Amino acid sequence: QATQRTAFRSRGGENRKEEAKDRGAGDEILAKGNGPWSVIISIDKQHLTLYSGDKPVAHSKVSTGTASHPTPTGVFSIIQRNRWHRSNLYGNAPMWFMQRITWSGVAMHQGVVPGYPASHGCIRLPEAFARQLWGITKMGSRVIVTRGEIAPAAFSNPKLFVFKRAPEPKQPEPALTADSAI
Q: Are 61 and 114 in contact (CB under 8 A)?
A: no
* Bond before 126 cis per omega within 30 degrees: no
pTM score over 0.85: no
Buried (b) or exposed (e) across 115-125, using 16+ Cβ within 10 A? eebbbbbbbbb
pLDDT (tens digit, 0 to 9) for every residue of the chain, 182 residues total?
Answer: 333 333 333 344 455 555 555 555 556 666 666 778 999 999 999 999 999 988 999 999 999 999 999 999 999 999 999 888 777 776 667 778 999 999 998 999 999 999 999 999 999 999 999 999 999 999 999 999 999 988 888 888 888 887 778 888 887 777 776 665 55
